[in-house]
Structure 1
Amino acid sequence: METKDTEQKSGKSTLWIVLLIASVMLNIYQWFHTSKTIDNYEQRVDTLVVERVNVEKELADTKAELEKYRGISANLDSLLNEAQAQLDVQEAKIKNLSKSERNTVELNKKLQAQLKDLQMLRDEYLGRIDSLLMANKQLQTEKEQLTSNVESLSKNLETTVATASVLKSEYIKVKSLKRRDSGKYVETAMAKRTHKLDVCFDILDNKITKQGEKTVYLKITEPGGKPIGNRSTGSNTFKTSSGEEVMYASSANITFTGAKQNVCMSYEEQQDKMFPAGTYLVEVYVDGNLSGAGSFTLR
Structure 2
Amino acid sequence: RPNVYWKNVRTVKSSNATEIRRLKKELASLRKVMIGYINQIDSLNRLTAQQKEIIADVTKKYNAASRQINNLSEEKKNLTKTVTLAAQLDATNISVQPTNKRGKTAKKVKDIVKFKINFSIVKNITAETGERTLYIRITKPDNDVLTKSSSNTFPYENRELVYSIKKYIEYNGEEQAVTVYWDVEEYLYAGTYRVDIFADGTLIGSQSFSLN
Which TM class, normalised by the smaller chain length? 0.7 to 0.9
Counting only pairs closer than 5 Å after superposition, residues 1-299 of structure 1 correspond to structure 2 as: 18=1, 30=11, 34=15, 41=22, 104-179=26-101, 184-231=102-149, 236-240=152-156, 242-270=157-185, 274-299=187-212
Map of 1:49 onto structure 2: none
Deviations 1:179-222 (A, max 9, x none): 3xxxx533203222212111110000111111111100001111
Cα distance in 2, alignment partners of residues 157 and 111 from structure 1: 68
Q: How far did 1:270 drift?
A: 3.0
Where in structure 1 are there 5+ consecutive unaligned residues?
A: 1-17, 45-102
Q: Report which of the two structures shows the higher radius of gyration computed on alpha carbons.
A: 1
Deviations 1:49-90 (A, max 9, x none): xxxxxxxxxxxxxxxxxxxxxxxxxxxxxxxxxxxxxxxxxx
Letter in 2 for 1:209: A
Aligned to 2:100, the other structure's residue is in SS state strand
Q: Moved runs in structure 1, 4+ residues, more than 4 A?
A: 22-41
Residue identity over aligned pairs, in percent, reads 23
Query: Could you tell me whether the CA contact under 8 Å between 1:221 and 1:281 is conserved in 2?
Result: yes
What TM-score, normalized to structure 2? 0.87
Q: Tell me how far apart the structure 1 counterparts of residues 7 and 138 of structure 2 sit (CA, whole Å).
A: 132
- Report how far residue 33 of structure 1 moved: 6.6
Give the secondary-structure state (helix, strand or coil) at the position aligned to 2:179.
strand
Q: Distance in 2 between matches of 1:135 and 1:236?
A: 62
Give distance in 2, aligned partners of 1:142 and 1:104: 57
Q: Which amino acid counterpart does residue 41 of structure 2 have in structure 1?
A: Q
TM-score by length of 1: 0.63
> What is the RMSD computed on CA atoms of the aligned residues?
2.6
Q: Which has the higher helix share?
A: 1
Whether the 8 Å CA contact 1:219–1:283 is kept in 2: the answer is yes
Deviations 1:84-124 (A, max 9, x none): xxxxxxxxxxxxxxxxxxx5444333222222221221122
Q: How many residues align?
A: 212
Name the SS for the 2:104 alignment partner. Answer: strand
Q: Deviation string for 1:18-52 (max 9, x for gaps)?
A: 59xx76996698579758856985x67xxxxxxxx
Contact 1:192–1:277 (CA under 8 A) maintained in structure 2 = no
Write the distance in 2 (CA, Å) between the matches of 1:110 and 1:25: 39
Q: Give the number of the structure with larger relative contact order, counting CA–CA contacts within 8 Å between residues 6 or more apart.
A: 2
Q: 1:276, 1:295 → 2: CA distance?
A: 15
Q: Deviations over 1:242-285 (max 9, x none)?
A: 223211101011111111101111111335xx112111111111
Q: Which runs of 5+ in 2 are unaligned?
A: none
Check the 8 A contact 1:277/1:298 in 2, yes or no. Answer: yes
Normalized per residue, the structure richer in strand is 2
CA distance in 2, matches of 1:249, 1:191: 19
- Does the CA-based 8 Å contact 1:168-1:203 persist in structure 2? yes
